């Protein structure tokens, strides 16, 4: 999902990863920060008629983040009544970093953001973010690129900045040129409606087939100063590593140089947004943007590997993992949240490929949907990868229940207990392939008839 790495980018990321390693391995990944009260989406927040996912979690309580205001409006990209336009307005001097799809047919807004975040001046003074749902503006040629540029230009006039300081993101149907006039017509309303306390509305405004808004919040400390990190995301189908049809927008009031933000985002994206999959498909519009407004009072961090980043890096990882998990929990038609861990692999890359093979397998996913303890399908998914696997040392567990050990059914295997375990809404699958010491984890969901119904009816 990340931008094609440059040599400089690789060095920066390597330096940061090395500096953070002593505490990164000890980081506990909490699945979410509980909010006080659920904020259920109204019936028209996403696509009408979709039942809220049984795996949905409440939208957390997110306090205002210094240096950012948000507004939403109905621009009319959807026929039904709902907000489908979200605008963030940032304080002067806000830093920005981004990671994007590797899809060969990237959208116009992805091209726009990559262009203006690149280079020595990129990401140093980003003043706005414009997000629309209902039109992806992807595979739209010059007309789509022109629409993106005109959108940025009009928003820049409103906020008194350069058009390059306006970031763009879109989600929706591919092959439809964005009608930017719908956005421009709503800018006066947007300007009047800017509010520091609009995170839940923003989470609903970017939904497509999502059934609940996704948000996360955490706090960290930099030299005794409290800093806040908040984020929203959308995505429920066309979800696979690299990065899925997902949009994610994270804002902190810390004061961090764009190069450092970029390294942090690249570091954590691998084990969060790049480690979830719903259906194995990758989108044209994947975008994750991280903004730092610098309003917390904490000292500026301008060097990759600065030890003062320890608490912040852990909190950022927590927010990103929380959002990534929520994408899976809202997988189209999902009824099971599934964690797949591969141990004993020859390398981290091999472990990831093996875990993804299991998580993406339609046969594995449909067995989980049917609450069928058919662990033979896991064996199939492991063996088809051509990754190093020692058949005679292969071991498989579903939760605490051993299914196979040393390349054969476990002597203690109990079909009744395994079947009872499969009725749980959350399933853990652990596989040891006996070829080394590397591990990787991927999160996925089951594959049900609901997925077919949602996607068969997507444009109607």
**Residues recorded for the chain:** 460
Tokens of 172: 């929706």
What is the distance between the alpha carbons of residues 378 and 404, in angstroms, rounded to a whole number?
11
Residue 167 · residue 313 · CB < 8 Å = no
What is the distance between the alpha carbons of residues 448 and 454, in angstroms, rounded to a whole number?
10
Residue 20 · residue 309 · CB < 8 Å = yes
Residue 149 · residue 116 · CB < 8 Å = no
287 is catalytic: no
Strand order in the sheet with 401-405: 408-409, 401-405, 395-398, 426-432, 337-345, 438-445
C-alpha angle 125-130-132 in degrees, rounded to nearest 5: 160
**Phi, psi for 192 (deg, rounded to 5):** -75, -25
Type and span of the H or E element at 128: strand 128-135
Residue 195 · residue 69 · CB < 8 Å = yes
Residue 281 · residue 174 · CB < 8 Å = no
Q: For the chain, how big is the Rg over CA atoms in Å?
A: 22
Residue 28 · residue 322 · CB < 8 Å = no
What is the distance between the alpha carbons of residues 382 and 342, in angstroms, rounded to a whole number?
10
From 195, 196, 167, 201, select the one nearest 83 (Cα to Cα).
Answer: 201
Q: What is the separation of C-alpha 381 from the centre of its chain, rounded to a whole number of angstroms?
A: 25
Residue 347 · residue 438 · CB < 8 Å = yes
From 13, 85, 78, 80, select the one nearest 43 (Cα to Cα).
Answer: 80
List 101, 208, 211, 245, catalytic entry: 245
Residue 414 · residue 385 · CB < 8 Å = no
Q: Following DSSP, what letter does each residue of 390-414 receive, concatenated? A: -GGG-EEEETTEEEEETTEE-TT--
Tokens of 268: 């954590």
Residues annotated as catalytic (active site), given as ranges: 245
């Amino acid at each position: 999902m990340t931008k094609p790495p440059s040599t400089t980018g690789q060095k920066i990321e390597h330096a940061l990863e090395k500096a953070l390693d002593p505490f990164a391995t000890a980081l506990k990944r909490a699945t979410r920060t509980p909010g006080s009260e659920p904020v259920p989406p109204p019936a028209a927040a996403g696509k009408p008629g979709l039942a809220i996912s049984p795996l949905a979690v409440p939208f957390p309580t997110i306090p205002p983040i210094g240096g950012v205001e948000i507004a939403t409006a109905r621009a009319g990209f959807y026929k039904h009544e709902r907000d489908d336009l979200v605008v963030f307005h940032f304080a002067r001097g806000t830093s920005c970093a981004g990671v994007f799809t590797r899809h060969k047919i990237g959208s116009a807004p992805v091209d726009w953001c990559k262009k203006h975040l690149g280079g020595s001046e990129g990401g140093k003074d980003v003043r706005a973010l414009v997000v629309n749902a209902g039109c992806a503006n992807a595979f739209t040629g010059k007309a789509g690129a022109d629409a993106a540029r005109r959108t940025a230009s009009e928003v820049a006039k409103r906020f008194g900045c350069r058009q390059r300081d306006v970031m763009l993101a879109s989600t929706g149907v591919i092959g439809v040129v964005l009608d930017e006039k719908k956005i421009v017509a709503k800018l006066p309303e947007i300007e009047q409606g800017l509010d520091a306390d609009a995170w839940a509305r923003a989470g609903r405004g970017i939904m497509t087939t999502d059934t609940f808004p996704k948000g996360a919040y955490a706090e960290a400390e930099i030299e005794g100063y409290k800093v806040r990190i908040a984020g929203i995301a959308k995505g429920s189908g066309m979800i696979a590593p690299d990065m899925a049809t997902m949009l994610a927008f994270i804002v902190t009031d810390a004061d961090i140089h764009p190069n450092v933000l970029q390294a942090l985002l690249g570091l954590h994206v691998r084990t969060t947004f790049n480690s979830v999959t719903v259906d194995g498909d990758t989108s044209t519009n994947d975008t994750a943007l991280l903004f730092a407004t610098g309003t917390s009072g904490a000292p500026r961090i301008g060097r990759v590997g600065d030890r003062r980043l320890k608490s912040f890096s852990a909190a950022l990882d927590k927010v990103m993992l929380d959002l990534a998990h929520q994408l899976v929990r809202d997988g189209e038609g999902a009824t099971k949240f599934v964690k797949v861990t591969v141990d004993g692999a020859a390398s981290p890359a091999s472990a990831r490929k093996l875990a993804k093979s299991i998580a993406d397998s339609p046969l594995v996913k449909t067995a989980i949907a049917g609450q069928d303890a058919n662990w033979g399908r896991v064996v199939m998914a492991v063996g088809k990868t051509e990754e190093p696997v020692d058949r005679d040392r292969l071991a498989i567990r579903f939760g605490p229940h051993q299914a196979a050990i040393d390349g054969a059914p476990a002597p203690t295997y109990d079909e009744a207990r395994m079947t009872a375990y499969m009725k749980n809404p959350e399933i853990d699958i652990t596989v040891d392939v006996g070829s080394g010491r590397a591990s990787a984890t991927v999160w996925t969901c089951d594959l049900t008839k609901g997925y077919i119904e949602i996607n068969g009816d997507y444009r109607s």
